[in-house]
């Protein structure tokens, strides 16, 4: 009897695994086909606009005229514009069509129109050579082809729509690599772009460590993942060498509350400024208090306009303990404390937090973004290491 049950369960498992495997293959094939379709359509449009004998008759209304003539779902004027932009943004893909993706092309193209494929390849080389992108994956063409082959196979066109919005080639390459390495969803890719992940990595003195930290936070699973190691207040329009008082910084952040909350991250709700706390008949004041509706806890933020000092953490720890004892409700989680400083020494922070509440965090903030050259050097290194 047990043998029959085991055999039956094995059969069910085999059927399920086979279904899932080929379902994934089908989704992958559809994604690749859609991407190549858009690339080829982009090529046709650019070629017609540049060489078509009757292109002047259509002028600016060309894409609308095509869309109206086709009346095909998925080929709206907007989608045609995206296809054209895709071809112009990713010329390197053209070199792959002839050697790697003939199976995805219509028979009339793959078998009867080799000249057209050669034209696509030549055009992609021409665009690549005139592009402003100074990044190169490797001197080995096979490695370059492999990189873009993986891009085609593993990045959907919905991802490309978001990537094409990034004009800077170095920045776009950064997000391509992150999508390949961590299989970002489209939603997560948009979030990474909106929260300046590229600039945030470039701010760190250790870009490799910062990148590893960034990747570990892609799917937040606990309290630690809700807190960033570096915050950027470039929306204040201040220079990094500007002398600030803590109250001035606090006022500026609250004047830009929407941008400040966006930088803090999803789920932060503002509650208090200079929250008054009573200790032994003496009042103390917590700079900023938020409530995190996802983590279901209070977040106390202390602002400092200089480098980390251990006494700052002791002060914050006191405020967090007060909230846990006097403010936290039964259905709340323990409060979180964030100390924002201009600099933080890893070793000093490590020793200062030893034995304290593990919901205390020390983060660095910057008033300006790093220079593009510094980021480009890092992305170039990442590309060279890509396999």
Query: What is the side-by-side order of every strand in the sheet holding 297-303?
Result: 230-232, 360-366, 336-341, 297-303, 282-292, 268-279
Please give the average per-residue pLDDT across 55-69, as a whole number.
Answer: 72
* 92 pLDDT higher than 50: yes
Write down the pLDDT at residue 2: 45
* 131 pLDDT higher than 70: no
* 240 pLDDT higher than 80: no
What is the percent of the chain where pLDDT is above 90? 12
Please give the average per-residue pLDDT across 139-143, as a whole number.
Answer: 63
What is the percent of the chain where pLDDT is above 70? 66
Rounded to two decimals, the pTM is: 0.54
- The answer to whether the CB of 300 falls within 8 A of the CB of 323 is yes
pLDDT tens for 15-53 read: 777 777 677 667 677 778 888 888 888 888 887 777 766
Write down the pLDDT at residue 115: 58
Write down the pLDDT at residue 243: 67
pLDDT band at 286 (very low <50, low <70, confident <90, very high): very high
pLDDT tens for 115-124 read: 555 666 666 5
Lowest mean pLDDT among 154-158, 168-172, 248-252, 346-350: 346-350
Q: What are phi and psi of 299, to 5 degrees?
A: -125, 115
Please give the Cα distance from 32 to 26 (Å, whole number).
Answer: 10
DSSP string, 121-151: HHHHHHHHHHSS----S-S-HHHHHHHHHHH
Distance (Å) of CA 20 to CA 13, 24, 27, 152:
11, 6, 10, 21
Residue ranges of domains in the chain: 2-140, 166-226+370-387, 228-366
Please give the Cα distance from 277 to 298 (Å, whole number).
Answer: 14
Kindly report the CA angle at 88 between 87 and 89, in degrees rounded to 5?
Answer: 95
Mean pLDDT of the chain: 75
Lowest mean pLDDT among 185-194, 208-217, 246-255: 208-217
Write down the pLDDT at residue 220: 44
Q: Please give the structure tokens belonging to residue 342.
A: 């201009």
Write down the pLDDT at residue 221: 45
Write down the pLDDT at residue 194: 82
Write down the pLDDT at residue 134: 44
Question: Closest by alpha carbon to 40, among 97, 118, 103?
Answer: 97
Q: Please give the structure tokens belonging to residue 270.
A: 């503002």
Question: In which residue are the tokens 């903030």 written?
Answer: 365
The CATH code belonging to domain 228-366 is 3.40.1350.10
Number of neighbours of residue 284 by Cβ within 10 angstroms:
14
In this predicted model, which residue has the larger pLDDT, 350 or 158?
158
Number of neighbours of residue 351 by Cβ within 10 angstroms:
11
DSSP string, 238-251: --TT----HHHHHH
Give 222's DSSP letter. Answer: S
Lowest mean pLDDT among 171-175, 269-273, 354-358: 354-358
Quick check: helix, strand or coil at residue 21? helix
């Amino acid at each position: 009897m047990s043998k029959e049950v085991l055999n039956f369960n094995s059969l069910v498992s085999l059927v399920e695994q086979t279904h899932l495997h080929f379902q994934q293959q089908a989704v992958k094939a559809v994604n690749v086909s859609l991407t190549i379709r858009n690339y080829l359509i982009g090529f046709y449009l650019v070629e017609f606009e540049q060489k078509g004998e009757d292109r002047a008759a259509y002028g600016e209304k060309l894409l609308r005229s095509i869309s109206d003539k086709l009346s095909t779902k998925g080929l709206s004027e907007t989608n045609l514009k995206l296809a054209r932009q895709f071809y112009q943004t990713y010329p390197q893909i053209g070199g792959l069509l002839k050697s790697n993706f003939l199976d995805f092309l219509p028979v009339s193209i793959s078998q009867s129109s080799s000249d057209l494929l050669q034209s696509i390849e030549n055009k992609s080389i021409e665009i690549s050579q005139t592009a402003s992108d100074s990044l190169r994956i490797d001197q080995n063409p096979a490695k370059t082809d492999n990189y873009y082959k993986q891009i085609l196979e593993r990045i959907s066109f919905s991802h490309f729509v978001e990537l094409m919005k990034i004009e800077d080639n170095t920045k776009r390459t950064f997000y391509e690599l992150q999508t390949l390495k961590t299989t970002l969803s489209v939603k997560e890719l948009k979030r990474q772009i909106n929260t300046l992940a590229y600039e945030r990595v470039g701010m760190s003195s250790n870009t490799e460590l910062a990148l590893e930290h960034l990747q570990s936070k892609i799917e937040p699973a606990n309290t630690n993942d809700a807190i960033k190691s570096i915050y950027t207040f470039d929306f204040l329009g201040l220079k990094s060498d500007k002398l600030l008082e803590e109250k001035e910084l606090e006022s500026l952040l609250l004047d830009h509350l929407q941008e400040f909350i966006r930088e803090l991250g999803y789920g932060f709700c503002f509650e208090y400024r200079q929250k008054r706390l009573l200790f032994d008949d003496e009042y103390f004041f917590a700079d900023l208090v938020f409530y995190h509706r996802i983590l279901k806890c209070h977040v106390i933020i202390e602002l400092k306009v200089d480098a980390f000092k251990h006494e700052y953490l002791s002060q914050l720890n006191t405020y967090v303990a007060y909230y846990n004892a006097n403010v936290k409700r039964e259905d709340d989680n323990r409060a979180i404390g964030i100390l924002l400083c201009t600099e933080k020494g890893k070793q000093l922070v490590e020793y200062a937090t030893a034995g304290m509440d593990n919901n205390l965090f020390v983060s660095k903030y910057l008033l300006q973004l790093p220079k593009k050259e510094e980021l480009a050097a890092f992305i170039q290194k990442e590309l060279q290491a890509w396999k």
